[in-house]
Structure 1
Amino acid sequence: MAAPSQGVKIDWSKSIPLNVRCFVWRALSRRIPVSSNLAIRGITVETNLCTLCNAEIETEDHLLVKCKIAEEVHEWILGWCGSDGKKFQHIEEFLDYIASWGNCPMKKEIVSLILYCTLWNIWKARNNKIFMKVDTSPAKIANEIISQSYEWYKYRSSKSCNRWID
């Protein structure tokens, strides 16, 4: 398994929950339990195809950035953040995109939080489909990201924020 690229930085901001920061680090390290990794460990799964789209083998890159569901979620969220839709091929590209976002430290922190929340909620949607047999849509995932990222920022950030518009 490949180690994370030396050029990619993980945002260890306290406004992002520790379990999410660790999840992103593990995804970058190719150590989350997607079907391709489970197969390498000798664990048999029902199918090696992506749980969300059933189109390709489920890898970290596919599930979190290349899957058609993930792409739609990214499009919704990036549009909401005021960015043009961008397609990513690898998690490293996604994290580099976050790291290169603008010059304002506060906006950068907020966008980083939102995009980490995006990866986390795609993962949660995948797990809900596997373990609870709950299907979801990109719009529902995007709504959850918007709501959850506001909660994270409001209660975890050192800056006060009573309204999301602020």
Structure 2
Amino acid sequence: MATVKESYSQANGGYLWNFENQEFSVKNAKQTLGQNLDLNASSNTFCWNNWVQSKCTTFVWRAVDEKIPSLLALRNRGMNLPNVTCKTCGAADESAHHILIECNFAKRVWEMISSWLRIPVVNPELNLKDMLAELLEVQRCRIIRKLIHAVAIQTLWSLWKSRNEKVFFR
């Protein structure tokens, strides 16, 4: 393990740290970070909705980046899982996208939700981020769009809870 020797001085108007004979300043760190950032990359923005419980919104925020513990994600994190097939439909590997949009059960739920809200049917080819963005752009007034977004988040949470009941409480 490397040892860190700190030496504070007022050189160039800031503090300097000496790490194995390399000097770092806040200014140099900022410049290095600026060189490594791709400013043209699309930002990963997520629209939070205060009409939904924060645990549901946080879940969807994590699901957008495939960070929920689906079987495929767990296997990719190093767990020894020989079978990562969806326990609900058995048609494909269980990823966040599959559980929440692509699974036959999820498709039926989204068809019913779309009918109930009188919105276009959710396209299972879209990723979760694009699907939520599409729902926020439905031709309705701002309050109705927020309501549709809240229903979508709650639906995604309910699909996850349903999956968990199927997997853990057989």
TM-score scaled to structure 1, two decimals? 0.71
1:110 aligns with 2:147: yes
Stretch deviating more after TM superposition (63-72 or 36-45): 36-45
Within the candidate set 44, 60, 66, 2:96 is matched to: 60
Q: Could you say which residue in structure 1 is the equivalent of 2:162?
A: 125
Supply the distance in 2 between the matched residues of 1:36 and 1:115 (Cα, whole angstroms). 23
Q: Could you say which residue in structure 2 is the equivalent of 1:80?
A: 116
Considering only CA atoms, is the larger Rg found in Structure 1 or Structure 2?
A: 2
1:100 and 1:64, CA in 2 relative to 1: closer, same or farther beyond 3 A?
Answer: same
TM-score scaled to structure 2, two decimals? 0.70
Question: What letter corresponds to residue 76 of structure 2 in structure 1?
Answer: I
Within the candidate set 56, 59, 73, 1:20 is matched to: 56
Within the candidate set 29, 32, 35, 2:65 is matched to: 29
1:12 deviates by 1.5
1:8 deviates by 5.9
What is the aligned residue count?
129
Q: Could you say which residue in structure 1 is the equivalent of 2:132?
A: 95
Q: Could you say which residue in structure 2 is the equivalent of 1:157?
A: none
1:62 and 1:22, CA in 2 relative to 1: closer, same or farther beyond 3 A?
Answer: same
Q: Is there any run of 5+ residues in structure 2 with no aligned partner, and where?
A: 1-40
* Runs of 4+, deviation exceeding 6 Å: none
Supply the distance in 2 between the matched residues of 1:117 and 1:98 (Cα, whole angstroms). 13
1:43 and 1:65, CA in 2 relative to 1: closer, same or farther beyond 3 A?
Answer: same
Alpha carbon RMSD of aligned pairs, Å?
1.8
Stretch deviating more after TM superposition (16-25 or 84-93): 84-93
1:84 and 1:96, CA in 2 relative to 1: closer, same or farther beyond 3 A?
Answer: same
Bigger fraction of residues in helix: 1
Q: Identity of paired residues, percent?
A: 26
Bigger fraction of residues in strand: 2
